């Protein structure tokens, strides 16, 4: 633990010094990000069925999924025109349970080179870089993990490719595992036509992989449905997404996306996520709304949290911001969420989240917020979540 902490602090110090001195080799750049915060939770947010608890101090920024992080990431990037590499270590502290465990990981460690006068690019290594991402709030992408990615760009606006990942459970002694290893493949396409941005992806997950869904504030089943283990099953899980953003009216943002997980077994393991984003810039005022519709247990298949009924979750997030000056913004969000089981409402949640954010300098900001969330259950008392927090970030 102490060694990892020392390495993290040393890497940040050396990286910051190199960035400030401008002593990086030709073609190499250094970027990075630091995020942290401090807050106090009070109310009964950690007791679903009521009952107060003592106020809890949290260190780190709230990621919206019940975790509090202090994170530092450095991106060492070499670009020599037709070849290059990226190495991006991350050092982080997680304060979710009142402790401060430290961890370090490499987010990106890959090399790349161009062929055919830059029309084709081949990238290999551990890749967490965004490619073929849905333009609707950046919701969906499959181009991540350990593997090899092939991209083709016949014109500047178009990018199409394939990303091949070996199985996480690849056993070279088992011929079936070897064959299935190469079924963990993603296909993607993105096209920027000026007035419209489009991206789409298709993912195949072979035997022994997980039918995964993003885990987070949507509960134990994850944002898109339960996590299903296919170990011992010869089937291939198929998931797909498509998203588009329209730029037909100046200052008006319109985006739409849909993601369908486990298309091959939609009734039992499948889930559908549809989302829309609308925003309008009336400088110095900005307003908008994000909307999500989530459906799982479509065929009354795999139980989720003990419930075998079809589950629907509807989420609405209207927001507004006002620029007091070139460096200071105030705003608020009003989350409104519903969950239903076979048409019967399980709970209703409403919140109010005002905030202020001040730009301290190039890439550096400081802010504060208050969050109140109240969830009303049909078969239990209300759940209340109160938090006062300050946050800090620096991108360089």
Tell me: the pLDDT tens digits for 56-77? 788 888 776 667 888 999 999 9
Per-residue pLDDT of 254-279, as tens digits, reads: 999 998 887 877 776 778 889 999 99
Domain extents in the chain: 114-395
Tell me the CA distances in angstroms from 311 to 140, 190, 265, one per residue in order. 21, 32, 16
Q: Which sign, positive or negative, has the C-alpha torsion 55, 56, 59, 61? A: negative
- Which of 149, 18, 30 lies closest to 86 in space, CA to CA? 30
The domain 114-395 is placed in CATH, from the list 2.60.120, 3.40.50, 2.40.160, 2.40.50, at 2.40.160
SS3 391: strand
pLDDT tens sequence across 292-301: 998 876 665 5
pLDDT mean over 349-367: 94
Helix (H) or strand (E) holding 279: strand 271-282
Residue 255 backbone class (left: φ over 0; alpha: ψ -120 to 50; beta: rest): beta
With 0-12 / 13-18 / 19 or more C-beta atoms within 10 angstroms meaning exposed / middle / buried, residue 356 is middle
Give the Cα separation of 343 and 300 in Å (integer). Answer: 13
Q: Cβ atoms within 10 A of the Cβ of 95, count?
A: 23
Q: Quick one: pLDDT at residue 232?
A: 43
Distance CA 238, CA 256 (A): 21
Torsions phi, psi of 19, nearest 5? -65, -45
pTM equals 0.80
The string of pLDDT tens digits covering residues 217-233 is: 333 333 333 333 444 44
Q: Which residues contact 133 (CB under 8 A, 6 or more apart)?
A: 140, 141, 190, 199
Structure tokens at 324: 């007091």
CB atoms within 10 A of CB 253: 16
């Amino acid at each position: 633990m102490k060694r990892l902490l020392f390495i993290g602090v040393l890497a940040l110090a050396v990286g910051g010094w190199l960035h400030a001195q401008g002593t990086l080799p030709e073609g190499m750049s250094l970027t990075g990000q630091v995020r942290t915060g401090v807050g106090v939770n009070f109310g009964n947010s950690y007791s679903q069925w009521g009952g107060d608890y003592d106020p809890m101090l949290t260190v780190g920024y709230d990621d919206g999924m019940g975790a509090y992080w202090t994170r530092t990431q450095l991106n060492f990037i070499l670009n020599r025109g037709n070849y290059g590499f990226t190495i991006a270590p991350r050092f982080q502290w997680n304060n979710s349970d009142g402790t401060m465990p430290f961890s370090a990981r490499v987010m990106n460690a890959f090399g790349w080179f161009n062929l055919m006068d830059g029309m084709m690019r081949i990238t290999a290594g551990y890749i967490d870089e965004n490619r073929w991402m849905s333009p609707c709030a950046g919701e969906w992408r499959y181009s991540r993990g350990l593997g090899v990615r092939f991209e083709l760009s016949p014109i500047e606006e178009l990018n199409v490719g394939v990303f091949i990942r070996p199985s996480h459970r690849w056993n070279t002694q088992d011929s079936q595992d070897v064959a299935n290893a190469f079924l963990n493949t993603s296909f993607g396409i993105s096209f920027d036509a000026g007035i419209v941005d489009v991206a789409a992806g298709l993912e195949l997950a072979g035997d022994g992989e997980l039918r995964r869904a993003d885990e987070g504030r949507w509960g134990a089943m994850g944002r898109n449905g339960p996590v299903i283990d296919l170990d011992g099953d010869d089937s291939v899980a198929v998931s797909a997404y498509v998203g588009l953003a329209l730029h037909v009216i100046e200052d008006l943002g319109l985006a739409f996306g849909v993601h369908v997980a486990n298309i091959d077994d939609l009734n039992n393991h499948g889930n559908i996520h549809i989302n829309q984003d609308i925003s309008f810039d009336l400088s110095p005022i900005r307003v908008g709304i994000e909307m999500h519709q989530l459906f799982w247990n479509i065929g009354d298949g795999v139980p989720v949290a003990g419930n075998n009924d079809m589950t629907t979750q509807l989420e609405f997030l209207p927001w507004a911001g006002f620029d007091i000056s070139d460096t200071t913004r105030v705003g608020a969000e009003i989350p409104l969420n519903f969950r239903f089981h076979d048409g019967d409402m399980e709970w209703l949640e409403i919140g109010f989240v005002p905030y202020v954010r001040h730009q301290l300098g190039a890439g550096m900001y400081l802010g504060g917020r208050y969050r109140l969330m109240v969830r009303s259950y049909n078969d239990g008392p209300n759940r209340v979540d109160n938090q006062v927090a300050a946050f800090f970030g620096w991108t360089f």
